[in-house]
Chains A and B, each alone.
Chain A
Amino acid sequence: MQHSIGAHVSDHDHGHVDHEGLKVLGFWIFLVTDCLLFATLFATYAVLHSHTNGGFTGKDFDVPGFIIETFVLLISSFTSGLAVLQMHKGNKKGLIGWLVITLLLGATFVGMEIHEFASMAAEGATLSKSAFLTSFFTLVGTHGLHVTFGIFWMIGLIFQVSRKGITSVTTRKISIISLYWHFLDAVWIFIFTVVYLMGVM
């Protein structure tokens, strides 16, 4: 067996791959697929947004509501960036602090969205009212579910950081969740423009 394989050039690091870097790369590729997922939802929304079945239309969105939601999410994206900055400085307390603020802002956002959905439903604008509303609730709700999942994930990571400190593994995990968080922010900008702004205009 030994002679069947060529020699081993040992100027690289034993051929051991950088596992943390590998995981970040995989997450980027996952985000590509998530992008396509949202793209499909946007495309359906574009096809169906005028199929209002004589009910609730884009003109009826609650303008101050969605503008505040947008600000809350944008600020949370900023604070998640600050968390990463603290992590790179090696400041565990700062990292955890900013993460907590980020997830509180995220929770506020989700809370406002639930409130928006509930008040629409109370007016009779439910998912089963029209194709427009089905596609609206699905698109915006999918984003909301992503944020909700991110909140729980972040809670899990806060525990891990507080236990393990800032290691190469936790650094990778925090980088990945902040990537995820920024991504959700970017998707929201599209929702804000395509769904809400173009709706009320």
Chain B
Amino acid sequence: MNTSHFFVTGDPMIYGADVSIVLVTIAIIFYLSYFKKWGWLWREWITTVDHKRIGIMYLLASLLMLFRGGVDAILMRLQLAVPNSHFLASEHYNEIFTTHGTIMILFMAMPFMFALFNMVVPLQIGARDVAYPFLNAVSFWLFFIGAMLFNISFVIGGSASAGWLSYPPLSESQFSPGPGQNFWIWGIQISGIGSLATGINFIVTILKMRTPSMRLRDMPLFTWSVLSSSIAILGAFPILTVSLVMLTIDRLFGGHFFTMDGGGNPMMWVNLIWMWGHPEVYIVVLPAFGVFSEVVANFSKKRIFGYGSMVFSMIAISVVSYFTWVHHFFTMGAGADVNIVFAICTMIIAIPTGVKIFNWIFTMYRGRITVTQPLLWFYAFVPTFLVGGATGVMLAAAPADYQYHNSYFLIAHFHQVLIGGVVFGYLAGLYYWWPKLFGFKLNERLGKWAFWLWQIGFYVCFMPQYALGFMGMTRRIYTYNATMGWDMGWAPLNFISTVGAFLMGIGFIFQAWQIIYSIKHGERDVTGDAWDGRTLEWSIPSPPPVYNFAILPDVKGRDSWWYQKQEMKNGTYQEQPVKYEPIHMPKNSGIPFIMSGFWFVAGFGFTFEWMWMGVVGLIGVVLTLFARSFQYDTDYYISVEEIERTEKALAQKRYASVQRTAN
């Protein structure tokens, strides 16, 4: 391979990207060197095993990816705004929708979700860390490296263009030769292994690391949603891993799993990938449901209505989501009997989801409601998800799906549930828990601007697409001619849709501004309990000390912190003497980062089909595993004196600012 193929050439936009990547890299290196921050970066972040810091890194990465995926979306909408557009060439359009879909699901939604897992779960269950802090760091770095590998395809080697689920035979080497498709495979393979490990980590964390007095039925609903999502990860991600290995074998070693010749069967991929893919959409939406349960209860000042049915419906969703995958290809020709089974299973999922929506509404009924940013996003979620769910049931009607399949109706549907459910849910969670992690609230006024831009933009962008679907516009087309555009009426609707996409883009810019602005001017919270919360995470300072809880909390049922505050108010609370004990903590480690570096080498090698490099990378991975196995000195104790010092300082800080506000 010569360099003219190695670097992507010929497109001014990509040259622009090359230049900006180089400039940003130089700027970062300069900043870190000038302010002597390399050591800080290594000690405090790269080697950290603290779930709070890992959560923050996930959050940063996912917001960056939301930006990248969003730019892709805007480019696509620009291309489609008018008929016969020459803004993007057809191949470039293919690359962009593939990248957009892959990034949004795997490198935006997943890490955003893991950010919330990490930022919240240990604090909600009164734990000092996750079950396997080292593995947690490994998961993060695998995700990060996978995302980077996928992203560099933009400037090196060329991007994948076979769609976000890369159906064969198109994704086989015969039709998609070269590194682009391999980037897709290895990017999500590496990060997928990390996701699987996170699933295991949080199942064990929730089952085993709860403060001893917390029973399962005392757990906050967000924690329950993480448990059900993690169980779904456990079932789904091994299938993804294997499917990707099989596609690799086809592409690199001439295998015949999914080829048209040699007895291969492309539809087998379609089945396998959706056996992962459908549960995957529930994996990402369940935690959003969990966020809403916390937000609604908190801002209604009531305990959640129908706790048991909430738990049951989440578990039911994660189980039934395994029996719906065929609804993505009713048109395959499996026959009416098969289609009917999957159609019914799909429709059944609407029931537990509906139950949850009713429960949230009943929780608000007669509550003392304060409308804050997190609650606003819940208000937006309800109608949006309702319509998205209803169009989902339309798609689930197998005979009718022959009309909707692969049309813009589908595009509108899944964006409605993914944006209305997943993105709105995670943003609600971000606004809600931000003060916990950072000690200040995000500015309300800028947030409202962002909120309304997102809302209006969303409906302006996606409602016309339902109509376009009915008018015969199929997904993944890069342009349409003037006859379609003007005589058949596609052009005005497409133009409106593009306007909506820009409004959402501006909404995102407001959010970026909101975060930067609030770092300086945001309302500081010194109580640790910014929203007068109900669950344990609000009982400790914000941001929490490394060990979270100086003393493991004693829980007396659900919403324990809320009832404790009641008791404290009316004077019935019995204060117990505090007695600290040394706290056992994991040591930082550079191995997760180094191991991921080797994964990068391996992934890069296999992407360019340089086997030697791939093998070197894998050997490196195994060696780092060995290095870890030989490490015995992996933990330390925080002494009682140090805990006392920290707690005293925290208490003083709070006291001082209470004084300041009192004056």
Contacts and interface: CB of A to CB of B under 8 A. Distances in A.
B650 A152 contact: no
Interface string A17-40: 100001101100110111011001
B469 interface: no
B200 A48 contact: no
B630 A131 contact: no
Interface in A77-134: 127-134
A160 B629 contact: yes
Nearest to B256: A131
A16 B242 contact: no
A167 B527 CA distance: 45
A198 interface: no
Contact of B257 (A14, A135, A149, A156): A135
Interface in A144-161: 149, 152-153, 156-157, 159-160
Contacts of A128: 253-256, 262
A174 to B, nearest CB: 12
A12 B629 contact: no
Contacts of B238: 33-34, 36-37, 40
Given A5-B551, A164-B632, A22 B263 contact: no
B409 interface: no
Nearest to B264: A131
Given A44-B268, A47-B265, A53-B262, A29 B256 contact: no
A4 B540 contact: yes
The majority secondary structure among interface residues of chain A is: helix
A41 interface: yes
A52 interface: yes
Contacts of A134: 249-250, 255-257, 262, 264
> Interface size class for chain B?
35 or more
Interface string A45-78: 0011001110000000000000000000000000
A37 B576 contact: no
B59 interface: no
A8 B554 contact: yes
Contact of B263 (A1, A48, A173): A48
B629 A156 contact: yes
B138 to A, nearest CB: 13
A32 B579 CA distance: 41
Nearest to B653: A1
Contact of A29 (B200, B577, B629): B200
Interface stretch (B66-74, B204-212, B589-597): B204-212
A36 B256 CA distance: 22
A4 B272 CA distance: 51
Contact of B211 (A7, A10, A15, A130): A15
A26 B213 contact: no
A2 interface: yes
B647 A9 contact: no
Contacts of A14: 581
Contact of B208 (A2, A22, A53, A169): A22
Interface residues of A, number: 54
A8 B200 contact: no
A12 B256 contact: no
Contact of B554 (A7, A33, A157): A7
B553 A138 contact: no
Contact of B630 (A23, A129, A149, A156): A156
Interface in B621-658: 622, 626, 629-630, 632, 647, 650-651, 654
Nearest to B200: A29
Nearest to B579: A8
A191 to B, nearest CB: 15
A133 B253 CA distance: 12
B487 interface: no
Interface string B589-632: 00000000000000000000000000000000010001001101
Nearest to B250: A134
A23 B264 CA distance: 40
Contacts of A26: 131-132, 135, 200-201, 204
Interface in B531-586: 539-541, 549-556, 560, 564, 568, 574-579, 581, 584
Interface string B103-137: 00000000000000000000000000001100100
Nearest to B255: A134
A152 B265 contact: no
Contacts of B262: 51, 53, 128-131, 134
B131 A22 contact: yes
Interface string B418-445: 0000000000000000000000000000
A8 B576 contact: yes
21 contacts: A1-B541, A1-B651, A7-B576, A8-B554, A8-B578, A9-B213, A15-B212, A15-B552, A32-B234, A34-B238, A36-B234, A36-B235, A41-B242, A51-B263, A127-B253, A127-B255, A128-B254, A131-B256, A149-B622, A169-B632, A173-B629
Interface of B: 131-132, 135, 196, 200-201, 203-204, 208-209, 211-213, 234-235, 237-239, 241-243, 245-246, 249-250, 253-257, 259, 262-265, 268, 272, 528, 539-541, 549-556, 560, 564, 568, 574-579, 581, 584, 622, 626, 629-630, 632, 647, 650-651, 654
